[in-house]
Structure 1
Amino acid sequence: MKADAKAEAAPAGGGSKKKLIMIIVAVLILAIGGGGGAYFMLKGQDDSAEHDDEPVKKKSKKKKKEAGPPVYVPVEAFTVNLQPEEGEQYLQLAFTLQVPDAEQSEGIKNNMPKVRSRILLLLSSKKASEINTPEGKQQLSKEILEQVNEPFEEHGDEQEVSEVLFTSFIIQ
């Protein structure tokens, strides 16, 4: 009888081990499935939040940062010859660039020779009559903004300059 008791006890113990292993495997599958599901749900929310923003002309490789106070980058004054109309005319222009953060400010300061060259070429192509009116000044501001926002390196990111603020504007 002792042998029969041992034989009956063994299958019962083996069955409970199987149940325990099955339960552990089921819990692991649920945990992995739940974690994966949560990951994709949260990732989907991040993607949809990006698509809810205003349309962007070019996607920046940089992540958007929290909005803080703008940073201003003053640009040294320009004095250029304008295209001739009524004799020789000169433009003396100084402005400040508005950027979202110190990182953008540093990028522009580090590339100031390129900024100045682009603006100098733009300004020297203008006639006094084109930029003497308020509308002409606004158009010039847009053109300066386009020039400054162009990438400094081929296939590089655009700058994030949001505004050109004239601080001096003299035509002589």
Structure 2
Amino acid sequence: MAKAKAAPPDDDAEATAKPKKGKKLKLIIIIVVLIVILAGAGVVGLLLLKKGKKDDAAHEETAAAPAMVDLSKPPTFVPLDPFVVNLALGEGDRFLQVVMSLHVADPKLSDGLKGFMPQIRHRINLLLSSKLPSELATTEGREALANEIADGVNEVLGAPPGAANRATAPVQAVLFSSFIIQ
């Protein structure tokens, strides 16, 4: 018995060694998966940013490109006689003097408007006299007034009011050539 039997390995030692290897392997797999996910998210983010920049650049190019005007078909404008009206009470005695033109869709319409002119002028007079000076002091207020006048004239002519119908309406826009509030 010179040789002593080697002690069998402890089951506890083996059990502790395997879980350590298993835990390390799980940790490595988790880290690799996280790296792959983060890399994928980064690539997707870069692609979306580049796409957004291209869309913005394309939008700017289309916005910057001037609209081509067909010079063979000049627009038709119908000038109206000047309007002088008292503005609505509330901010003192003020009056408005305005000269405007109607941008009409069809050149033939300019002659046809003459028959409706008393109704058109009446509608515009009522609309102008209902405004307060403070409503007309800003650019937005004047643009809103021009839209209201266009809708009113289109209504007199039998067209449906509203900006959505403006492209097909008889009167497409109202343009002020003089606008004085006193």
- TM-score in terms of structure 1 length: 0.56
Q: Structure 2 stretches of 5 or more lacking a match?
A: 1-71, 161-168
- 1:49-102 per-residue CA deviation (whole Å, 9 max, x = no partner) reads xxxxxxxxxxxxxxxxxx932211000010000012332000001100111222
> Does the CA-based 8 Å contact 1:97-1:163 persist in structure 2?
yes
- In 2, are the aligned partners of 1:68 and 1:101 still within 8 Å (CA)? no
1:74 to 70, 76, 79: 79
Alignment of 1:1-172 (within 5 A): 68-152=73-157, 156=158, 160-172=170-182
| Structure 1 outlier segments of 4+, above 2 Å | 156-159
Q: For residue 76 of structure 1, give the secondary structure of its aligned residue in structure 2.
A: coil
Shift of 1:157: 5.1
Q: Partner amino acid for 1:139?
A: A
> What are the ranges of 5 or more consecutive residues in structure 1 without an aligned counterpart?
1-66
Which of these two proteins has the greater Rg computed from alpha carbons? 2
Within 2, Cα distance between the matches of 1:81 and 1:144?
17
CA RMSD of aligned residues (A): 1.7
Aligned length: 103
TM-score, length-scaled by structure 2: 0.53
SS of match in other structure, 1:126? coil
How far is 1:110 from its partner?
1.9
> Any idea what SS the aligned residue of 1:142 has?
helix
